[in-house]
Structure 1
Amino acid sequence: MKALDRSYETLILEESAPGVVVVTLNRPDRYNAMTNTMFDELERMAIDLNDEDGCRAIVLTGAGRAFCAGYDLADADLLAGLGAMGMLSQQERAARALLAVRTVRHPTIAAVNGAATGGGLALALACDIRLAAPEAKFNTAFVKIGLSSGDLGTSWLLSRLCGPAVASDLGFTGRMVDADEAAHIRLVNRVVDPSELLAQALDLAAQISSNSPGGVQLSKRALQANMEVGSFAAAIELENRGQALLTRSSDMPEALAAFKEKRAPVFKGE
């Protein structure tokens, strides 16, 4: 993949198996806290991998003991000196990065190996699936530093994953949630042994990669879009269009032929 040839300062990209890319946040000395460089590189990474037909799934994790500690407070003093439009530009820079991660056409799996706080929580929420080690912990953090929990998509995604009451609890208190509670409130899909975290994320990515690329991508599009449409009828219309398109691809006839011939299908995503 051409996207893997690009050099990054705050990320490491590796193709761990055909079509499966592991993206590691790589500022372990700062608990993978976010900087403007990281925002720019997350956006570029997502755009580059979105353009890769050979990509099938993306696993996002953190180097060292943390997943991501949110915005690097070493840079926070600079924020107070920005004017209104300068702060809006800063906010939009960060938001573009997380929007790019959320909307990349390939499924994304967050392997949360440690703290995911503030913007780190928002980054985990932007992924399609979240696996957590027992050491993982989560909080919105924003209200602890005089900001709103309505940041980087957190208020929208947290409400839809956990429900408005839980989102209000976490958003208003900024309290820390451990891995077991995160699973209980559906913030993460499941908690796994830390020694197995990346292996299980890669196994999940492999299961996804074994399916029709077009089917998976249009499934993701339907699931995300139907979180926003206002009616069942609109959801059905979107689903109908996706199914009609997929019957025109080569993968559906291949799947049927493989079933009849009792062999594994060979999907091309064409």
Structure 2
Amino acid sequence: MLAIIDGDILAHNACRPRWRDKAKIVNGVNYVSLDDDGNKQELEFDKEEDTQYLLDSWENFKDDLDKMLDRLYIDKYIMAVKSPTNFRDDMYPDYKMNRRKQQMRKPRKQNMFVPSIRKLAVTQGYAVYAHDREADDYVRIWAEEARRVGEDFIVCSVDKDLQCIPGKHWLMHHEKILNITEDGARTHYYQQLLKGDPTDNIPGLPGIGPVAARDLVWDCRNDGDFQEVVVECYVAQYEGEWKQWLLSNGKMIHIQRDMDDYFTLEDWPFAKEIESL
């Protein structure tokens, strides 16, 4: 069986929290140092400590990968990691901006090493960069290629966005297999078009969260049904600007099935019908 791996998850997980390296723990209590204003002092690490941390994180990456492959009895795998560029950033400058703002508010010092782990994974032959894309795009592209040739595969990640891919998924954080049906994958995709993706700062429709999105599509049975609900909701919210909003959100949410697969309304008959009115 082929494992199709979201390497970004492994890279982040490999960079373990650093506070334990300098923690002062007495009888199970972690004592922290405060500055003159009573604020918690940030831990400081020198260059030698940073180098050792990077080496340890790289070993964590390889160990975590080996353990996962052994657990799943995998004989081969392919892995993608995020590239420095992403076409979504050009179309929507606020894409994932909330993550960057959170990083500025609450910097996690270990995250500065994640790009180095990605680079090591690529240069050492463990992974490839998802050039100008998310790792998610490569994962779905590879999954569709495997499906076309009849190769058994399992998607390895924690990212709910990838639940638009029918098939077996290994949830790294829970260490369990989730089977996504064709209907489940389709429903997940159209619900995201309605509710957006707050994690990636994609707005969706105001007032529509997971519960409302689920209720809106509960009786949809095919793509046409789902598309009709989505278009009607966007028209109700944005009136004459519905198409621009739907295209904008769709281009951010849509995970590619091949390198030329970008979100479009050309194959949405109901959208064309509404546009012609």
Please tell me the TM-score bracket, short chain as reference: under 0.3
* TM score, norm. by length of structure 1: 0.22
* TM score, norm. by length of structure 2: 0.22
Q: For CA contacts below 8 A with separation 6 or more, give which structure has more relative contact order.
A: 2
